[in-house]
Amino acid sequence: MPQRLSNTQLFRNIPEECIRRLLVCMKAREKSFKKGCPICMEGFSIKEIGVVLSGCVIMEFIDALGTNHILRVVKAGGSFGEEYACGSRGFLLYTVRASEDSDILFLDASVLLRPCEKNCSWHQKLIENLVYVSVSRSLQLMRKVLHSSPKTIRERLISYLSERVKWNGSYEFDIEFSRQQLADYLNVDRSALCNELSKMHKEGLVTYRKNHFVVHMKLDN
């Protein structure tokens, strides 16, 4: 377990032996979820941070009109629930769901809110990592707002694909969303999204097969 966690955002730069002690302090427990199963439900409160050991999860919510919105995708090594487990004790405004078979490690967040009873030397480092994760989370949400703000579907797609090009350092890459998930992420209708992608393909701007994309248009990097 410590070896798997040493590569996660929350436990980065913490020695494996210290991770073992921290796991005891934080009452760590592991649970597996099948694809499509809810991990944390909207409307409930949580007291634990979730770390994705394997698989992938999505954070989503359904608005008053019944439209599904994807807030964020969390891959192996990432975490979720910090803002509620460590900060607000209110009810979740989103649902966390396994988008594929996933193993999740749950950690008691109350340990981070008080001095460590076992005097763990790496307690402060864990808190620093948590701050780093929170800042990264804010940037992710900002990117989503930027991608879903343009008026047309094409502009939203170009915004999203442009960022993927920059992130991967290549005009050829795999995206993390299915078509429905991409539509939810960009806040557009799935059929309209697919129609626009088809038009862009015919115009020679992009080629794609399932989640694999090749961008042929010139982008400002």
Band of residue 36 on the pLDDT scale cut at 50, 70, 90: very high
| Pairing mode, strands 212-215 and 68-75 | unpaired
Residue extents of the structural domains in the chain:
2-147, 150-215
Copy the structure tokens of residue 4.
């798997």
Check residue 68 and give its pLDDT: 85
- Cα–Cα distance between 175 and 98 in angstroms, integer? 17
107-110 long-range Cβ contacts below 8 angstroms, 24+ apart: 107/23, 107/26, 107/27, 107/28, 107/48, 107/49, 107/50, 107/51, 108/26, 108/27, 108/47, 108/48, 109/26, 109/47, 109/48, 109/49, 109/81, 109/82, 109/85, 110/47
Q: What is the pLDDT of residue 213?
A: 97
| Cα distance between residue 51 and residue 30, in whole Å | 9
Helix (H/G/I), strand (E/B), else coil: 106: strand
Cα(139)–Cα(77) distance, integer angstroms: 17
Strand order in the sheet with 29-33: 29-33, 102-108, 48-54, 79-80
**Structure confidence by residue, pLDDT tens digits, 120-165:** 667 788 888 988 888 888 888 888 889 999 999 999 999 999 999 9
Q: Which residues contact 212 (CB under 8 A, 6 or more apart)?
A: 172, 173, 174
Question: How confident is the model over 59-113, as pLDDT tens digits?
Answer: 998 887 788 888 889 999 999 998 888 876 668 889 999 999 999 999 998 877 7
The pLDDT > 70 percentage for the chain reads: 94
User: What CATH class has 150-215?
Assistant: mainly alpha
Average pLDDT score over the chain = 89
Q: Given CA atoms 202, 206, 208, 214 in this order, what sign does their dihedral have?
A: positive
Please tell us whether the domain made up of 2-147 is placed in CATH 2.40.33.10. no
The H or E element spanning position 67 is: none
pLDDT reported for residue 111: 78
Q: What is the pTM of this model?
A: 0.77
What is the structure's pLDDT at 173?
Answer: 95
DSSP string, 116-132: -TT--TTHHHHHHHHHH
